[in-house]
Amino acid sequence: MFNEQRQSQRKILKVKAHVVVDGFAPVTVRTVDISSSGMCVMSPDPIQVGANALLRFDLVVDGNVTAIEVRSRASYCILSHGDFKVGFNFLNLSLSGMTQLAKFMR
């Protein structure tokens, strides 16, 4: 029996993003979905579970594009259709980032 581990509502988000894992070059990824506490991305390369990274992506809120940059930690990494599905937990989303994300999640 599958046990759902998500703690908060997810919303589909399909945009390009950048992941900068500490000590590695930036990687362009595609986002899958987002929640108030993290996001899932599709990466061409595996990312080690527990790795700290900087995520950069754009949210469109009320017709305006907002750039979000947030420190995150990889919580899972699984091979999926030739890419790697990586889950990140946000570590310190700024107050303005939290506000924009809350508006996006409505």
| Number of neighbouring beta carbons within 10 Å of residue 22 | 9
Confidence of residue 98 (pLDDT cuts 50, 70, 90): very high
How confident is the model over 44-95, as pLDDT tens digits?
999 999 999 999 999 999 999 999 999 999 999 999 999 999 999 999 999 9
Confidence of residue 8 (pLDDT cuts 50, 70, 90): confident
Structure tokens at 105: 């999640």
Report the distance separating Cα 19 and Cα 55, nearest Å.
5
Three-state DSSP class for residue 20: strand
